[in-house]
Amino acid sequence: MARGWIGVQIQPVTAEIADSLGLKSNKGALVAEAQPDSPATAAGIKSGDVILGIDGERIDGPRDLAKRVAALGPGKKADLIYWHDGSEKTTSVKLGSLPDDKEAAAHPATSQDKDSFSGLGLSLAPASSVQGAGSHGVVVADLDPDGVAAQKGLQIGDIILEAGGRAVNQPADVKAVLAEAKKDNRKAVLLRVKNSEGTHFVAIAINPAS
């Protein structure tokens, strides 16, 4: 039987992610990436949105959403309840069928042109300065294995595409977002990270006092 597909990479909503997005609970599925030309993109779903329910029923997490979408089947229409920019919205989506291909991302080499973030235990370099990393984002060039970033699963070669909902292309862009978050006394900053397995979000805890 053909399964329904909306074309999103999703991950669970942790307490830190919920806090950084202004959500009151950690139920739902966080959209790490909406694939181009997918039903989700056509319906206006973007990375950073959190899908909260489908056809009026709330979902617990990514597995729950995937199961319900698959069960509906291709060609069916469904109403998605989602969280976008601090408010709840609803959109209609026409489900597609699950394609077979998977996109592989290049794993970049490290770069000399890097900027250290000692509080997070990592050094960053512009992606444009690293062969094979593309022109967008900043690359994790070095990592303290005991640091905050490593504990959250970041690895050397990962590309940070966004910090706090903003596109970043220089280490200074990340520094600006962190400084603003500290000023606002926020507990965490959400990073959109791309690696060889795809795109996902990581909530990095920050110390407002530091």
Q: Are 159 and 193 in contact (CB under 8 A)?
A: yes
Q: Given this structure, which CATH class describes domain 115-205?
A: mainly beta
The pair of structure tokens assigned to 114 is 């890097």
Q: How much is the pLDDT for 9?
A: 86
Classified as helix, coil or strand, 138 is strand
Cα–Cα distances (Å) from 13 to 17, 52, 110, 126, 161, in that order, read 6, 10, 30, 28, 19
pLDDT along the chain (210 residues), means of 10: 84 90 93 90 95 96 90 93 95 83 33 65 85 82 85 90 94 92 88 90 74
Tally Cβ neighbours within 10 Å of residue 6. 28
Is 0.75 topped by the overall pTM?
Answer: no
Res 35: pLDDT: 85
What pLDDT does residue 175 have?
92
The answer to whether residues 124 and 139 touch, using CB atoms and an 8 Å cutoff, is yes
Reference 80, options 26, 4, 161; nearest CA is 4
pLDDT of residue 106: 32
Residues of CATH 2.30.42.10 domain(s) within the chain? 4-97, 115-205
What pLDDT score was predicted for residue 1? 60
Name the CATH superfamily, with its identifier, for domain 4-97.
Answer: PDZ domain (2.30.42.10)
Please give the pLDDT value at position 99: 59
Pairwise CA distance, residues 151 & 113, whole Å = 24
